[in-house]
Amino acid sequence: MHYASTKIFLKEITTIFKEQLINEQITAKEVRLIGATGEQLGVMPIEKARGIADNEGLDLVLMSGNSNPAVCKIMDYGKFKFDSIKKEKELRKNQKIIELKEIQLSMRIDQYHINFKLKNAQKILQEGDKVKVTLRMKGREQAYAKNAVEVVESFVNQLAEYGSIDKKPEIMGRNVVVVIYPKKTK
């Protein structure tokens, strides 16, 4: 039972720290005040700062509680919060998440299947995602690891106009692995 109450207490603390303190929530005795237009109004008692904010019809918002004295700004807190949420949504909307998609090859792959996998890799790279090319060696094929690396290198060379690699194909146990990054299009 003790664990559950601690968990709830920590959740309450994190929500308090996510929100900025405003007006009467600010407990500092003295604050460095910044005006609504950004001008420095100097260090003053918290009561005087609240009075100035009330006279202007705006909120007193704690910007930095860790500094000595605490830094407060006079602003319309509702508008500030609305604008910050709007900016955050805009940033999330414009964000492109790059995925890593895998294409598997084998030592005895014929040309038809190579061409098919090349088309898929080209499409993935043109969409802006990374391609992980994996060739798994089975049984006695492990004795011919150089041939496996050559198969992967030839596959990568055929994709040279669509993407590039940071490091050469690597032998990792039974697999030969390389990651192809899309070319930047501007």
- Residues paired with residue 176 on neighbouring β-strands, in sequence order: 135, 171
Greater pLDDT, 28 or 4:
28
For 44, the token pair is: 């003053």
All CATH 3.30.110.10 domain ranges of the chain, comma separated, are 100-182
pLDDT band at 37, cuts 50/70/90?
confident
Residue ranges of the chain assigned to CATH 3.10.20.80: 2-78
Q: What is the pLDDT of residue 21?
A: 79
Q: Bridge partners of 163? A: 182
| Residue range 100-182 in CATH 3.30.110.10 | yes
CATH class assigned to 2-78: alpha beta
Higher pLDDT, 185 or 37: 37
Per-residue pLDDT tens digits for 52-92: 888 888 888 888 878 888 888 898 888 888 888 888 888 88
β-strand 70-75 against 163-165: which pairing, if any? unpaired
Residues 135-167 pLDDT 10s: 998 888 888 888 889 999 999 999 888 888 888
